[in-house]
Each structure stands twice: as C-alpha cells, then as structure tokens.
Structure 1
Amino acid sequence: MPELLPTLKDLTVQSTVGGQLGKVVNCRVLSLLAQPSLVVNHQLKRILAEDDQPVLQLDEGDLRLTPVDFANQVSRQFANALAGVSAAAVARLVVIYAPSWAAECRLPADAQRIRIAHRQIRDVIQILYDRDTASHVQIIYGGFVFEDELATVLWDVNVDGVLIK
C-alpha cells in the first residue's frame, strides 16, 4: 500500500515588519523530526511529481541545540531528505524552522538564535546545491516570537517570513 501524503493546506506567512501577509498555497508539510529522512525523501519526490508545493519542517525537538549541534543535525537531515532531488526542484521548496522548545520557554537571545538557525539552513542548502538555489528557497520561522523581537527576526536576510498560526 502506498504511503499517504500529508493533506493539502494553505499557510499564512507574515513576510515584512509592516505586517504584510502572504500565503503558501496547496502545500504538503513534511516533518523531518516526525519521520525518518528517507521516508521524507520518498514523499518529497512524490509531492514534486504531483506539482504540489513541498514544505519541509525542521524541528530540533525539545532540546535547544547549540549552533554546532544544530548545523550537524540540519546537514544530515537535508542531505538524506534531498538525496536525488534536482536543484530546480529544491528551489521550489519552502522550509519552516519550527522548534518545539519555542512553545515551552523563551530567552532574550532567541531572536539571535532564530537568525543563526536560518543562516545555517541556507548554508546547508548552498553546500548541497549552490548559492542561487539556496537564495530561492523560502525559509520561514514557525515558532513563537515576542512582538518586540518580530522586527529583528523579519529584517534578517535569511528569514523570509514568520508563520502565522
């Protein structure tokens, strides 16, 4: 029996400090924490073949990983999840960084942690593919953001928006 793909949904994203909202429509969200990356790879290829919008959700779980540990985890997950996927297909990708710990507690350095994580995600895509491909991938933050941190997060060149729940 073939694996079921996640249901189609639309996501609302705040992409500017002024509150401009956008949509990611007809997308299928694949979680790299909830499933093995090889399963995600298979599903990602099916989503791309069906011409739906692929969304990969990264989550470091309940642990707040150090930047080095986070980069190692992201590298491994992306390499496995994107194996055999062309640069043109990856350029269509939307990545959501949605750490579970963000719902639990927040520290003053969280805006910086978000910015570092997004930079690392874009760096991994650039290493796996190239700079042009990495620049086309939308990377959205999907965790909680304090109102006074929102502008700092959205002004970062590697953060393409914040998911509105």
Structure 2
Amino acid sequence: MPTRKRFVAGNWKMNTTLAEAKALGAAVAKGVPSDSPVAVAVCPPFPWLLPVGEAIKGSAVALGAQDVHSEKKGAFTGEVSPAMLIECGCKYVIIGHSERRHILGESDSAINQKLHTALDEGLHVILCMGETLAERDRSLQERVFQRQVYAACAGLTDEQFGRLIIAYEPVWAIGTGKVATPEQAQEAHAFVRGKLRQLYGEKIADALPIIYGGSVTPDNTAGLMNQPDVDGALVGGASLKADSFLAIVKAASA
C-alpha cells in the first residue's frame, strides 16, 4: 500500500479577532515540531492571512485560505484571486466547503472552475465533498460522492492531482457534535478512492490524500486515523483552541 503523508488543517471559518488569530497561529506553530510526520496548515479568515502568516513564519505550519474566486483577476467586487492568496503566503485553499455549497449555493460547475484556476496558479487545493443527512437517510451518499468527484475533478492533469487533497465532510456532522463512525468514514473514503481509480488510474488514486472533516476532536481522531483510507483531518471548531488542535495533530502522528 502506498504511503501517503497525513495532513491536518484547521478551518477557522468566520471566527477570531486579530489578536486571537495571531496568538492562535503562534501557539500552533510553536506546538508542531519541525520534523512532524504530519503536514499541518491553518486557514484563518481573509483579513488575518498576513498577520497569521507572520505568526507561523519559519515553522512547520503552512498557511491556507478558506475560499478563492474562479477568475484570475477582474471586476469581481469582494472576491479574492489565487495570486493574491499566494502573495499573502498561502500554500493551500479550501474549495467547495459544504457551508459554501449549501448556504451560499455554490454549484458543482462553479467548484470545478475554482479548482482549475487555483491549481493553474500553483495552489494546493483542499476539495470538500459530502452528503446531507437527507441524502444519507435515503442511501444516496454514494451517488452524491460519484457526482461530486466527476464534476469537481473533470479536466485535471496528473500534475494537478498531485496538489489535490479531498476532504470528506458529511454535512450532517459539521458543527453538530455528531461524527461519522470510523467505519462510515472508511466506507466513504474507500468508495471515493475507488471512483478515482476507475476514472484516473491506480497511481493517482493511491497517492491522493483523502481526509475527514466533521466534528473532529482529540477523542475521535485516533479511531478515524486507524482506517486505511483516512489520511488526516479538516478540523473546524476544535482548531480554534491550540491545545485541542495540537492534540489532533499528535493523534494523527501516531
């Protein structure tokens, strides 16, 4: 089985003051060793990218953003381009988070456009996907995974797949305190990897990290990480406290 480096990212969402963001970034940077076997990133709100980037500078922690526009520049008031994120020091960007899909109405085609632009400009992308509770209750989750994989990854090159991370986030587990069981997470990740293998070949499917997101805590990380197709975590609420986020990183390192 190929060895995929584990990856843990903190999605701070629309939280933190400037002072809190700087302190949180500094504490995470201090707590992640330079030889960490797990790749780590923090994704603060747009206004805090530069100060958090300074707070983590020189550490093993990378900077990420929570979204990006699908065009490289132009008259798009309020939007942020991939080049702007890179100038701020970002390595990663989250695309297709369920809150953007289901609250802000982002379509599969819009997510594919964002994915292409971000990868064309050199960013690494954390692509989110997952089913709602209604879809799971009707046993439609595999149909949802298949549609989202087909739509988001259409047209990607082999090189671009090398900078892609998929985050499986069951929508019913985000911010609810509910979490998929390790077995449910493994089942979803294995299905997605199988679809990638059918579409793009064994090399891409086996190398691509698939991480889990949805009420991840220090207590449930180890069980998730023990699954063969779970390669890390996209952490929401627990990433807002350095101690809990670092405990998740530590559990993922085991």
TM-score normalised over the length of structure 1? 0.77
Query: Where has structure 1 moved over 4 Å in runs of 4 or more?
Result: none
- Rounded to whole Å, the distance in 1 between the matches of 2:201 and 2:220 is 31
CA contact 1:55–1:95 (8 Å) conserved in 2: yes
Structure 1, unmatched stretches of 5+, are 1-9, 14-18
Identify which of structures 1 and 2 has the higher relative contact order when contacts are C-alpha pairs closer than 8 Å and 6+ apart: 1
SS in 1 for 2:163: coil
| Partner residue, 1:29 | 94
- Corresponding residue to 1:104 among 176, 184, 190: 176
Contact 2:176-2:215 at 8 Å conserved across structures:
no
* 1:48 CA displacement: 1.0
What residue is the counterpart of 1:126 in the other structure?
197
Residue 123 of structure 1 and its aligned partner are, at CA, apart by 1.2
Counterpart contact for 2:130–2:144, Cα < 8 Å: no
Give 1:11 deviation, angstroms. 2.7
The answer to which structure has the higher strand fraction is 1
Give the number of equivalent residue pairs: 150
Identity of aligned residues (%): 24
Instruction: From the superposition, tell whether residues 32 and 151 of structure 1 become closer, same or farther in structure 2 (CA, over 3 Å).
Output: closer
For structure 2, the 5+ residue unaligned runs are: 1-7, 12-35, 42-61, 63-90, 240-254
Matched residue of 1:55: which SS? strand
**Structure exhibiting the larger radius of gyration computed from Cα positions:** 2
Does the CA contact (< 8 Å) of 2:92 and 2:126 recur in 1?
A: yes
Q: Give the CA deviation at 1:31.
A: 0.9
TM-superposed deviation, 1:66: 5.8
Structure 1 window deviating more from structure 2 (133-142 vs 64-73): it is: 64-73
